[in-house]
Amino acid sequence: MRRLKQGRHIFTKATTTLAALTLATASFAMSDADANGDKMLDMDEVKAAYPEISEDQFTLADADGDGVLSEQELADAAQAGVLPKPGE
């Protein structure tokens, strides 16, 4: 039972670390791609950073449907595989 708890703890720490790294990487990508400095990425800014991204992918990543990607939406989309992870 103790080994199972240790395994869960390690898995939880690894998942938390991965999520934090994804968000930090998304933050870096956001600052590089955010041409107008509004802390959001519109389709043109995303296309400039990732020319291969389709409008469908952008729409899937835009969870709230406001036409721009927040840092969290960018991180979530990268983690879900909808958008490439920054640096890929």
CATH number at residue 12: 1.10.238.10
In whole angstroms, how far apart are CA 12 and each of 5, 16, 36, 52?
10, 6, 37, 33
Residue 85 lies in a domain: no
Count of residues for the chain? 88
Q: How many domains does the chain have?
A: 1
For 79, other C-beta atoms within 10 Å of its C-beta total 17
Residue 69 lies in a domain: yes
42: nearest Cα among 62, 13, 56: 62
Range of the domain at 65: 2-80
Residue 53 lies in a domain: yes
pLDDT of the residue at 63: 95
pLDDT of the residue at 9: 42
* Residue 41 backbone dihedrals phi, psi, to 5 degrees: -115, 120
pLDDT tens sequence for the chain (88 residues): 555 554 454 444 434 333 433 433 445 456 778 889 998 999 999 888 888 999 999 999 999 999 999 989 988 998 899 888 766 5
Q: What do you get for the CA distance between the two ends of the chain, in Å?
A: 40
